[in-house]
Structure 1
Amino acid sequence: MALQTEIKDFTKKVLLLGIVLSFFINLIFTYISSLSGGNSTYAAGNDANFRRVSVPYLGNTGIAISMNIGLKDKQKQDTPVNLYGDVMPIGEVLADTSVGQKKLISSNMVAAAGYLNILKTDVNKLLDSATDREAMLESFLDQLKFRYISTNTYLSILSAQVTELQGTITTSNTSIETIKTSLTAAYKNLDYDKTEDLITNYLAEKQKNTYAQTYLVFLGKFISTYQVLNTYNKTLLDTLINNKEALVKNVTIVLPDSGTNLMKQLNLIKTEAEWKSTQ
């Protein structure tokens, strides 16, 4: 009986030791894996996910949807907002249509949506949530001013791209007509090889022409959208700047139902010109 008890104790100890050793071995392999390929594989996958979410080529079209509202000066310097940097040449857009769609169409749509989101900011909630209302308002105004100036610059670039696309379409139309004339002659002469080459050239030129005209339509839409956004931004800037003191102090002016005639006499409201003349 004593021998059986010793055997059971020994077996239990061996099993327990085996479990402990297995745990440590697994822990060691996990650690080594994290230092080598495993972690890099995960990081690469994570990077790929982020690229898909934020749309590739955004930087090339020149948009970064980020708001520096409420950040301190040092943080602002470390987190720059570059709205419109490098702009993709039209020739490159037409050379690779899949890249062109992402850089020219998708990126501008994301940029317009980002600009709209900033303009839709609830200013009252923004200021109410701030510990320093004046600093927060100044930061928001800086963002609006930067967007306004950058968008004006970008509109000039888009206009230049429209001109370039129009020239490309004109040249392409001429090329298509020339190819059609050559194709008719080659067919009449029963020149099979030349006919085949001309058909290939014709289809390629037609595709280029179609994409160019499509991009031209989208550029026109983008220009209109940015102009509307900038017009609203200008109105918002004027309103916030001219009422900065009231917003900082969280003051509300009540317009009486009986009319506003006496409000000017009591100096409760002023036109922008009247207010600027007193500054």
Structure 2
Amino acid sequence: MTSDPREPTPPLADAPPARADAAPRVDVMMWPTAPWREAKADWLRAEELGFGRAWLFDHVAWRDLRPWFDAYATLAAAAAVTSRIGLGTLVTAPGFRHPVTTAKAALAIDDISGGRFSLGVGAGGNSSDVRVTGEGPWPPKEKADRFAEWVTLVDTLLSAEETTHHGPTWSAENAWTGGALPRIPLTIAGTGPRGIRLAARYAQTWVTQDVGDPKAQVEALDAACAATGRHVDRLMLLGTGDSRPLASVAAFRDCVGRYTEMGFGAFVLHWPRADGHFRADMRVLEAVAAEFNAPR
């Protein structure tokens, strides 16, 4: 099958939107910073606490955290030892991941997990990822162009058994991935007009953070979804900005109330760390899980 970024594959059929009064789903962002012999217990605990999905940032390196293990290798290990919790990247970016190898890794983890994987993708920033591999940074328009073509090709690779594509940036020659429909769910991060339109066309879930102007972004997504005739779920990554959703259970309730009014039905909390920006008390996370995650 040959893909053309100007003629994207048709969007998948979608489930109806969740009821407005449905309980929010609570997810957790894990950290690939400990050896697996130590980290395994945290993934099992996340499943025991009933979180809907456990995500990982996908970077070569991030801030000053050392070590920083590969996201896909870690998710494969987590898939093998868990049985219920969803898994995903939040997010993979084109800066150091080729569409073919990304799709191959996603399909493998989805198989290991028994269909529990969601591929979260985003354009990425001009972080150390693009410098450490000798790529980028790119001007904003070029970065957006690269990402749009990347998403289109990944969508095809996940949906078709074999793909050939020759585009401005990305190529695939008889790439056998064994993709099939229904395609692995895509979660797309986007705050600008092009990223939001990509989410409206391809994503099962759109994700943003509690910085900037989420309300304006939601309005743009509503307009883009109206144009495509699709429903896209909304996921909010909390705690990136100044909010402290794990300061107390009440603080988390306040966040949920504020963003539920904007149409968000799922929220991501960072697994507590002992220091730094994401420092938090594990007992608060456990209390949030007890209130919001059970029973299901």
Report the TM-score, using the length of structure 2 for normalisation. Answer: 0.22
Higher strand share: 2
Higher radius of gyration, 1 or 2: 1
> Comparing both structures, which one devotes a greater share of its residues to helix?
1
Name the structure, 1 or 2, with higher relative contact order (CA <8 Å, separation 6+): 2
Q: TM-score, normalised by structure 1?
A: 0.23
